[in-house]
Structure 1
Amino acid sequence: MSGGGPSNNPHPSAADEKAALRANIEIPIPSYEEATTSQAASQYGETNDSPAGPSGVGESSNLLSGYRPPTVESVRNSMESSFLSDYESARSSEGSLQREMIQMDIEEAEEGTRRNPFQKRFGWSISLPRNPFKGWRWPWWRPRWAWGHPRMPDLSFCTTEAAIVPIARLMIVVLALVMVYALFATGILSYPNRLANEYIIPQRLRNYATESLDYANVDHWMKYLSSFNHVAGTKGDLVLAKYVEGKLSSFGFETERVEFPVYMNFPKPGGRRVWMDNSKWEAKLEERKIDKNQENTLVFHGLSKSGTAKGPLVYANYGTREDFARLEQMGINVKGAIVLMRHGGKRTNDGQKVLAAQEKGAVGCLIFTDPKSDGFGWPIDAVRRASVGLRNWAAGDPLSPGYESSPNAKMIPKDRSPALVKIPSLPLSWGDAKPLLEALKGIGHTVDESWKTVISEVFTGDPTKSPLINLQNEQVEQHSHPIWNVGGRIEGRDPHESRLIIGTHRDAWCFGANDPNSGTAVMLEVARVLGSMKQFGWRPLRTIEFYNWDATEYNLMGSTEFVESMKSHTMDALAYINIASAVTGTTFSAAGSPSMTSALAGIMSLIKDPSSQNSTLQDLWGTFEEHPLPGLGGGGDYSPFQHHLGIPSLDLTFTGPYPSGSCYDTYNWIKRQDEFLQYHMSMAKLLILLILDLADTAVAPLSMAHYDLALQRWTTELEQWMPEKARGQVDLQPLKKAVKKASDHVKAFMNVGNEDWIMRDANGFYRKMDDWSIGLRRARTARMRNWERHLCWDWDTQNMEKQGRKRRWGREWFRHLVMGPQEWGGDEPSYFPWIRDAIEKEDWNSAQDHVGKVSHLIEKAARKLLDENKASPTGS
């Protein structure tokens, strides 16, 4: 590249690409075939002996057999080199960073080495290059000393040079040993104490981390990740899996790509139709092509039922169970009908809308995008693709609920899967839904304002008078289709500490700029900065793991299969942070375990709000006492960590309306909303500081005090929520007593200020560095970490079957009894969900049984917090 013009070189250098990026100049883009050749595969971190074929999937794989995979006409080749060299700056130079590391008192220990904590710790260290003698100017210490000898001066007592050679060599060896001993004796080259710098995060380290984040990188990755569609399990998805793996590897992470065989469905071209016979009307279904060089994905529902249906049209608002009850009150029976519903409302889970219609006897469903519900003017042909998988019953692979999906796993029949609906469905645009609503004019009952769309007059329809609708949904179904999780790890310097996991998913219904590419781009930039810090001497106290999940859009498959296959590995995690849709708007939103409140609050106060540089995110949020951290429901990759394993989790996003699930969710749409990616950079700063705080602080900043307040608040809310007829049937006193006992124990646990092992000096370092004190600090973190493990119930499903109780495939997967989704709660969080479900069913015995279980778990967690071992009086 010269003179600022575009280069004719088909393979631009990293510097050329960076310059072009900043100048908004197009880079030559290889074709999809070029991106997936063996040469490209090596660029993605693959080796030539990979079992995958030229496509990267393997010739024997029947990838989308019978299904035309989305073509990719333009794929940017962003694999040329590591961003450590692509984005070179003065601050990232080795010499500059070495000076930073010395000033920050950061020391790196040799892998696997432990040092006596009583050993003298120096406030500085020296880092030598790979060749210890490179740059040294002592003439007798040139590299050839190991196999030769220096030229000897003329000495009167030496008759020949050969006579002095052994003596000279011995002198060199002795001198070398003396020098090495002197260096080690002074501590300059001694192995630094692995635990010496684990206690505070120097401000200089925080400054380096945030100042090293580069807008150009995030912009670059965002544009590439959104340059072609990548539905889970397709070749575009695999290309991005290799891309993310290659990037993490180039940042210095230990990486892996793990494949899982799962059940998936894909639409057949020409196999989907919606039409009326009488008026000769047919839905267009597909969106217009956004870019002539990019292919749209076909419009369909993930995990939908394959088949056809015909019946009268009935409008059912948002398709909740309450909406169907309202129709019954009007005298409208939907049995045998095609039900038209709009996306959104209090229940955003489309699978539950289809299930509610199925329960009432409907034969098919159409779910449309309503501009009124979605909060901004969607293009008239925009379609919200989504999954209709029932993740509140069984997350992950629908054919292996509760256990790992593997080639040798025993799969349940598809018709017995609790995650799959039994009637066909399709999503529609507003342009396709409007004629259907107009066809119902004057038929059935008029609806009130809460049921209206942007049409002023809406009718329910009537099964005896409504026009007949034909629904065709033929698709390819594969029971063992590959998906790919990608992981990267920075090993912590203390093997006794737990790990921190950060995750975002990769698959999208189309181009997925907001969801999930905003999260993946932010994750990659944070990983790049942490990798550069590691390269120049920093290592976290705890292991940090980044994961890029696959098939989240279908049924949280990637993260769930990971947890089910790596349960023993994952159980020791300190926390999980989810950033799937990092930026979809301008309003900061966070949800998670109450124990994550302190860590989040401490970082939010350091991040300026992009729209108001005079206010921090904490200023806009307010206090967490007045506005507590909301809990987690069932809609994200945090679900297997929080609800199945009891790992404290956090979900972060800047939220707002956007064309979710549509091919309009593009890079250009993001740039119109966040032109300079200010919100993306704020999220990156928040994430990297949160990682440093959680991974590099001896006593992890988990908050038992906030969990204590949350338990009290949730118990009060449960009592207020209970219907009158349940009050004489369900006794909440055991729960109240357990919460009171937990509150007392938490207060006792927090009262440790006068114990010497937790005392710090004026510089913030712990005074006690002996093994006993270090062990006590580890134990304190472990007890806080394990608090939520003790709130999980191990369902004995085999014993349930022996007792004659019907086994609920998959629902017992939700082991956390204090927080989680309800059966019919959509993706919204619920507190004491099992108690609430039983009360809603008016199953008083089951409700009381769950009160006992929850009370027992809370008392157990309280005892473990203070290391008490006496039995619980409540029992199970």
Structure 2
Amino acid sequence: MFREYGLDDVNMASYSVLLSYPDGPNMVRLVDAESGLVLAESSPKQPPLYAPEESRDDVPYSFNAYAAPGNVSGRVVYANYGRQEDFNYLVANGIDIAGKIVIARYGMIFRANIVNYAEALGAAGVLLYTDPADFALDGQDAVYPSTVMMPPSGTQQGTVKLTDGDPLTPFYPSIESAFHIPEEEAAIPKIPVQPLSYEDAYFVLNSLGGPEVPVAWRGALNITYRVGPTQLARYVNMEVHTHNVPAVIHDVIAVIRGAEEPDRYVILGNHRDAWIFGAIDPSSGTAVMVELSRVLMRMRNETGWRPRRSVVFCSWAAEEYGLVGSVEYTEQFRTQLHSRAVAYLNMDLALLGNYSLKASAAPLLYEVVWEAAKLVANPDATEAAAGRTTVYDTWLARKPDPVYSTRPQVELLGSGSDYKGFLYNLGIPSLDICYNHDESVPGWYPLYHSLYETFAVVDELYDQGFLFQAALARVWGLVAVSLSDPQLLPLSLQEYALFISDVQQQILQDFGQLMTDNNRTFDHFLDAGRSFSARVDQFTQELLFVDLDDDLAVRRVNDQQMLVERSFLDPQGLPGRADFNHVVLAPSASDAYSGTAITGLTDALHAIADAGPDDDIAALWRTLDEHLAAVTSIIYSSAMSLTLQLW
């Protein structure tokens, strides 16, 4: 499509990587311990319900990528959402995980974190299922195809690899010259893992003995939820045929060259691989990106417009396996991207619902997305009739910032999509954007990664007439043009200063007494934040007097703005997390889906605050002291990046 539309350059970046597929049906069975009789077994595939494509012969067996193959049997323990606190509850109540099969429900944290916690406690295998309490909110009769809720036979698939990129070439691109570590050394699970529908999870959960679960652990199946283990007369068998296999993947890179600064890149990206049909994830986003490239080329051809800076479209491969295509690309082209990329604008998918715009971004991009949303007509006719005529109006009304209520909320990025390598490793300000559901109602988009994520869902249930996707394309395109066209980059330096100040005050409020009680202080850390804010204010004033006829002066101040995000990188990485270098923005260590701020520091403080009698408290304080000093130094350095001083 990019070549058909006439973009200036269209090329592929190819990588030899390790992927994962089943070579036979993955089965879960409930077995009578005395007779060996199979009492119940899971369905190897999700059955067709509505859309014609659901009946295709090439629909794969249900699986979790990078699960270890194996045939294991054991008693089962229920771990609720599989969070650290859920496993802590089991251990505190004398429930032994070692040698057991853990069953946990999707809905709170990244599935790979669940598997990582279970494996660390010695689990023999993990079962992951979608409970109707989270995925069929109006009952099991009000589900797909009549609603967007998960039917009883639906299975959420997905990777259970916790790291990103090719697992055999960590930190470096998987090109022909690459060194590959042995597969047994790779950071992938060593135990079988398998997803289940709630129809199949029923027979596993209904077999559990032991005490009843806490109220918050109860789902919506018609059973008494118990922690387990399985009754002595029964056990569960997992037969998993998922294998890791070498494969060649191809990223597609297309460029509209900039007229005056072709060596500065505004990059837009979406992945094209999917769990089965992927009409929402990623194809709704793919459609928007392809259409936007067509519109920009038509604008160029009909008006002679060409962006000042290059606009780059990236179609990523193997994102669903753990951001493989984009991470390998950022590893291979790290030097060019680190020095030349203005911003990375991601659209993993276009639709989680049709309630409001949702934007997650580095603070430098706050203002450009707010301003873009103000210029796009509201696709929601009811909202427009109520006087909220733009995308921004509904966004503000339905998702105001919880602290600064006069503007819409822009959320923190996690690491669930292809911005990871750009922001957290290369320091390129990043944005992820989509239309969202009403977050006051529990649940994400329930058909996520299932067979039933079909075109019919988008066309009939989410976005009839594709009005919301068209509006999103306009917002995304305006953000791209706002960053690629003007002489001076419109980056939100003052928003970044405010963001850091707010985070510092929250850390002081949460942990100031802990520091005081242990003869430590945040004084230098807070002073670094004040220094950054003061320097931002001074630089913002200097921008008003830049001679726009002086190309070198314009380039200099733009380079200084671009340097700000890069200046927050620590080449040593965060404590215990060498694959994350950004000290201000990083995903949660306990849930890769969730973004946090000054993460290494807050993780270290939480580790001390939550330390038990068996923890090495001196080592925890050493980690805290070292990282606090590093973050403080880096924030001071970032302030200096906005000056011409070397002293």
State the TM-score bracket (shorter-chain normalisation): 0.7 to 0.9
Q: Would you identify which runs of 4 or more consecutive aligned residues in structure 1 move more than 4 Å?
A: 723-727
Aligned counterpart for 1:284 among listed residues 38, 43, 61: 43
- Paired position in structure 1 for 2:359: 590
Please tell me whether the aligned partners of residues 26 and 62 of structure 2 are also in contact (alpha carbons under 8 angstroms).
no
Deviations 1:556-597 (A, max 9, x none): 001000000011221110000001111121132110100101
Q: Matches of 2:27 and 2:182 in 1, distance apart?
A: 25
- Paired position in structure 2 for 1:619: 393
Aligned counterpart for 2:170 among listed residues 381, 389, 401: 401
- Paired position in structure 2 for 1:524: 290
Helix, strand or coil at the partner of 1:498: strand
User: 1:252: Cα distance to partner?
Assistant: 2.8
User: 1:439: Cα distance to partner?
Assistant: 1.5
Q: Matches of 1:273 and 1:566 in 2, distance apart?
A: 43
The amino acid across from 1:255 in the alignment is V
Q: Matches of 2:132 and 2:345 in 1, distance apart?
A: 32
Aligned counterpart for 1:468 among listed residues 235, 242, 253: 235
User: 1:725: Cα distance to partner?
Assistant: 4.6
Structure 1 787/362 Cα, relative in aligned 2: closer, same or farther at 3 Å?
A: same
Identity %: 28
Helix, strand or coil at the partner of 2:23: strand
In the alignment, structure 2 segments of 5+ residues that lack a partner are 138-148, 438-444, 609-619
Aligned counterpart for 1:838 among listed residues 604, 622, 643: 604
* 1:220-259 equivalences in 2 (<5 Å): 246-259=1-14
Please tell me whether the aligned partners of residues 204 and 236 of structure 2 are also in contact (alpha carbons under 8 angstroms).
no
- Paired position in structure 2 for 1:538: 305
Deviations 1:759-814 (A, max 9, x none): xxxxxxxxx52xxx2222222221111101010011299xxxxxxxxx96xx3121
- TM-score normalized with structure 2 length: 0.88
- Paired position in structure 2 for 1:491: 257
- Paired position in structure 2 for 1:448: 214
Aligned counterpart for 1:365 among listed residues 126, 134, 155: 126
Aligned counterpart for 2:314 among listed residues 547, 560, 574: 547
Structure 1 366/551 Cα, relative in aligned 2: closer, same or farther at 3 Å?
A: same
Q: Matches of 2:291 and 2:41 in 1, distance apart?
A: 46
User: 1:294: Cα distance to partner?
Assistant: 6.0
Aligned counterpart for 1:859 among listed residues 636, 640, 644: 636
- Paired position in structure 2 for 1:671: 459
Aligned counterpart for 2:591 among listed residues 817, 825, 834: 825
Structure 1 754/431 Cα, relative in aligned 2: closer, same or farther at 3 Å?
A: closer
Q: Give the stretch that moved more between structures: 580-589 or 562-571.
A: 580-589
Please tell me whether the aligned partners of residues 364 and 429 of structure 2 are also in contact (alpha carbons under 8 angstroms).
yes
Is 1:647 aligned to residue 424 of structure 2?
no
Q: Matches of 1:464 and 1:431 in 2, distance apart?
A: 20
User: 1:867: Cα distance to partner?
Assistant: 2.1
Deviations 1:59-94 (A, max 9, x none): xxxxxxxxxxxxxxxxxxxxxxxxxxxxxxxxxxxx
User: 1:261: Cα distance to partner?
Assistant: 0.5
Please tell me whether the aligned partners of residues 424 and 585 of structure 2 are also in contact (alpha carbons under 8 angstroms).
yes
Structure 1 294/782 Cα, relative in aligned 2: closer, same or farther at 3 Å?
A: farther
Helix, strand or coil at the partner of 1:820: strand
Q: Give the stretch that moved more between structures: 748-757 or 842-851.
A: 748-757
Structure 1 733/546 Cα, relative in aligned 2: closer, same or farther at 3 Å?
A: same
Q: Matches of 1:692 and 1:569 in 2, distance apart?
A: 21
Structure 1 276/522 Cα, relative in aligned 2: closer, same or farther at 3 Å?
A: same
Aligned length: 592
- Paired position in structure 2 for 1:45: none
The amino acid across from 1:677 in the alignment is F
Structure 1 466/594 Cα, relative in aligned 2: closer, same or farther at 3 Å?
A: farther
Q: Matches of 1:788 and 1:753 in 2, distance apart?
A: 18
Please tell me whether the aligned partners of residues 136 and 151 of structure 2 are also in contact (alpha carbons under 8 angstroms).
no
Q: Matches of 2:591 and 2:644 in 1, distance apart?
A: 36
Q: Give the stretch that moved more between structures: 482-491 or 718-727.
A: 718-727
Helix, strand or coil at the partner of 1:269: coil
Q: Report the structure, 1 or 2, having the larger strand content.
A: 2
Q: Give the stretch that moved more between structures: 450-459 or 425-434.
A: 450-459
Aligned counterpart for 1:636 among listed residues 404, 417, 425: 417
Please tell me whether the aligned partners of residues 129 and 198 of structure 2 are also in contact (alpha carbons under 8 angstroms).
yes
Is 1:733 aligned to residue 488 of structure 2?
no
Q: Matches of 1:857 and 1:707 in 2, distance apart?
A: 14
User: 1:375: Cα distance to partner?
Assistant: 5.5
Q: Matches of 1:814 and 1:472 in 2, distance apart?
A: 35
Aligned counterpart for 2:500 among listed residues 699, 711, 721: 711
Deviations 1:656-675 (A, max 9, x none): 32411111000011111211
- Paired position in structure 2 for 1:433: 201
User: 1:823: Cα distance to partner?
Assistant: 2.4
The amino acid across from 1:384 in the alignment is Q
- Paired position in structure 2 for 1:606: 375
Please tell me whether the aligned partners of residues 585 and 658 of structure 1 are also in contact (alpha carbons under 8 angstroms).
no
Deviations 1:508-536 (A, max 9, x none): 01000000000000000000011122224
Q: Give the stretch that moved more between structures: 725-734 or 858-867.
A: 725-734
Helix, strand or coil at the partner of 2:280: helix
Structure 1 296/520 Cα, relative in aligned 2: closer, same or farther at 3 Å?
A: same
The amino acid across from 1:675 in the alignment is Q
Please tell me whether the aligned partners of residues 297 and 509 of structure 1 are also in contact (alpha carbons under 8 angstroms).
no
Structure 1 796/858 Cα, relative in aligned 2: closer, same or farther at 3 Å?
A: closer
Structure 1 410/497 Cα, relative in aligned 2: closer, same or farther at 3 Å?
A: closer
The amino acid across from 2:74 in the alignment is G
Q: Matches of 1:576 and 1:332 in 2, distance apart?
A: 46
- Paired position in structure 2 for 1:698: 487
* 1:112-151 equivalences in 2 (<5 Å): none
User: 1:841: Cα distance to partner?
Assistant: 3.2
Q: Matches of 2:332 and 2:279 in 1, distance apart?
A: 30
Q: Matches of 1:454 and 1:364 in 2, distance apart?
A: 24
Please tell me whether the aligned partners of residues 25 and 44 of structure 2 are also in contact (alpha carbons under 8 angstroms).
no
Is 1:264 aligned to residue 264 of structure 2?
no
User: 1:477: Cα distance to partner?
Assistant: 2.0
Helix, strand or coil at the partner of 1:813: coil
Q: Matches of 2:251 and 2:560 in 1, distance apart?
A: 30
Q: Matches of 1:574 and 1:717 in 2, distance apart?
A: 30
Please tell me whether the aligned partners of residues 263 and 398 of structure 1 are also in contact (alpha carbons under 8 angstroms).
yes
Helix, strand or coil at the partner of 2:281: helix
Please tell me whether the aligned partners of residues 267 and 300 of structure 1 are also in contact (alpha carbons under 8 angstroms).
yes
Helix, strand or coil at the partner of 1:398: coil
Q: Matches of 1:422 and 1:748 in 2, distance apart?
A: 54
User: 1:754: Cα distance to partner?
Assistant: 5.5
User: 1:848: Cα distance to partner?
Assistant: 1.4
Helix, strand or coil at the partner of 1:589: strand
For the pair shown, which has the larger CA radius of gyration, 1 or 2? 1
Structure 1 411/445 Cα, relative in aligned 2: closer, same or farther at 3 Å?
A: same
- Paired position in structure 2 for 1:317: 80
Structure 1 374/869 Cα, relative in aligned 2: closer, same or farther at 3 Å?
A: farther
User: 1:633: Cα distance to partner?
Assistant: 1.2
Helix, strand or coil at the partner of 2:114: helix
Structure 1 378/600 Cα, relative in aligned 2: closer, same or farther at 3 Å?
A: same
Structure 1 314/727 Cα, relative in aligned 2: closer, same or farther at 3 Å?
A: farther
Helix, strand or coil at the partner of 1:858: helix
- Paired position in structure 2 for 1:302: 65
Please tell me whether the aligned partners of residues 314 and 466 of structure 1 are also in contact (alpha carbons under 8 angstroms).
no
- Paired position in structure 1 for 2:105: 342
Structure 1 444/617 Cα, relative in aligned 2: closer, same or farther at 3 Å?
A: same
Q: Matches of 1:566 and 1:648 in 2, distance apart?
A: 16
Please tell me whether the aligned partners of residues 248 and 527 of structure 1 are also in contact (alpha carbons under 8 angstroms).
no
In the alignment, structure 1 segments of 5+ residues that lack a partner are 1-245, 758-767, 798-806, 871-876
- Paired position in structure 1 for 2:336: 569
Aligned counterpart for 1:813 among listed residues 571, 579, 584: 579
Is 1:659 aligned to residue 465 of structure 2?
no
Structure 1 463/837 Cα, relative in aligned 2: closer, same or farther at 3 Å?
A: farther
